[in-house]
Amino acid sequence: MDAQANTIGETQAALENVRLEYGEENPRYAEKLARMGVLFHQQGQTTEAASNLRRAVELHRNAGHRETPRHAMFLNNLAVVCRSQGKMQEAQDLFLEALDIDRLTVGENHPQFATHLNNLAGLHQELGEFEEALPLLIQVLEVDRETVGETDPQYATHLNNMGVLYLQLGQPQKALPLLQLALDIGREHNGVESTRYASRLNNMALVHNYLGKPEDALESLGQAMRIGAENHVEESVEYAVMLLNMACVHRGIKRLEEAADVSEKAHRLLMRLLGREHPHTEAAWRFLQNIRRAQRVL
């Protein structure tokens, strides 16, 4: 998901200008709506994001632009928002529709197809369907190598996701070199103070923890959270995930008080961002209750 305007305010002004000059049926209006949807999503306003993207998809389809790469991108972005809202079946249907359009328009050997296939794999990962995700990510990396190359930021992103998948499959030794390479490529392109770099440090922390190196894991997580704080992303789902990962490490080395404190912060954050009923919030609550039960046993 990328937005080409700097702020929601700028995009709203551009949207109104297009509406007044061309009308709401003009494809340019759909473009501006879609762009605003991306911006809302990036700021955690998923309801507004979904509303704008749904309207953009509808206008684009009604204007006869369904079988275009742009329409596939709109569908993919709406699917990403639906996934973040926990609407997994709708997200899957949208990803599949986007991929069908990609096959007809840009073909399977194209960076856009790789990005959309990667997002479908991510959905399977969230659902715990790791074996379904594996062949998709293998195909994604093959397309990347033939198109953008092995030093491109997109390749690093997809390499990172493959590393995470190997972790989910319980294969940290396979994950480690992939995540390290993704981290190295990201350092070259984004530097060491970017939120993307922080996200990959978080993943490296998971590897360290799997491999029985909790202190290394805590060091990576501490660095990741510092970068997150400096980039003002403490109010984000990703930051909550970092908190939960830190709680997990503390729990593994029997620091139950620290684990409970950190997981409680994560749960409160997810409650604010996603609501009580979201699967991520419910999972965080179950984890916190498990820690509290362990404290009572001791």
Question: What pLDDT does residue 3 have?
Answer: 44
Nearest-CA neighbor of 98 among 126, 119, 81, 83? 119
Question: What pLDDT does residue 17 have?
Answer: 61
Mean pLDDT of 165-170: 95
Report the 3 state secondary structure along 38-89. Answer: HHHHHCCCHHHHHHHHHHHHHHHHHCCCCCCHHHHHHHHHHHHHHHHCCCHH
Q: Which one of 3.40.50.150, 1.25.40.10, 3.80.30.20, 1.20.1630.10 gives the CATH number of domain 1-105?
A: 1.25.40.10
Mean pLDDT of 42-47: 84
- Give pLDDT tens digits for 60-76: 999 889 899 999 999 99
DSSP-assigned letter for residue 38: H
Mean pLDDT of 187-212: 90
Q: Is pLDDT of 10 > 80?
A: no
> How far apart, in whole angstroms, are the C-alpha atoms of residue 105 and residue 99?
10
Largest CA distance in the chain: 69
Question: What pLDDT does residue 251 have?
Answer: 94
Question: What pLDDT does residue 4 have?
Answer: 43
Confidence band of 44 (pLDDT split at 50, 70, 90): confident
Mean pLDDT of 165-186: 94
CA 141 to chain CA centroid, nearest Å:
17
> How far apart, in whole angstroms, are the C-alpha atoms of residue 278 and residue 274?
6
Nearest-CA neighbor of 110 among 72, 77, 156? 72
pTM of the model: 0.82
> How far apart, in whole angstroms, are the C-alpha atoms of residue 224 and residue 199?
7
Contact 98, 90 (CB under 8 A): no
CA atoms within 13 A on the CB side of 46: 17
What share of the chain in percent tops pLDDT 90?
A: 69
Question: What pLDDT does residue 215 have?
Answer: 95
Confidence band of 43 (pLDDT split at 50, 70, 90): confident
Question: What pLDDT does residue 286 have?
Answer: 95
> How far apart, in whole angstroms, are the C-alpha atoms of residue 8 and residue 216?
39
- Give pLDDT tens digits for 268-295: 999 998 899 888 899 999 999 999 998 8
Mean pLDDT of 7-36: 69
Mean pLDDT of 124-151: 97
Confidence band of 5 (pLDDT split at 50, 70, 90): very low
> How far apart, in whole angstroms, are the C-alpha atoms of residue 168 and residue 171?
7
Contact 86, 278 (CB under 8 A): yes
> How far apart, in whole angstroms, are the C-alpha atoms of residue 103 and residue 100?
5
172, two tokens: 């940290």
Element (H, E) at 181: helix 172-190
> How far apart, in whole angstroms, are the C-alpha atoms of residue 145 and residue 128?
27
Nearest-CA neighbor of 280 among 81, 94, 126? 126
What share of the chain in percent tops pLDDT 70?
A: 92
DSSP-assigned letter for residue 129: -
Contact 252, 220 (CB under 8 A): no
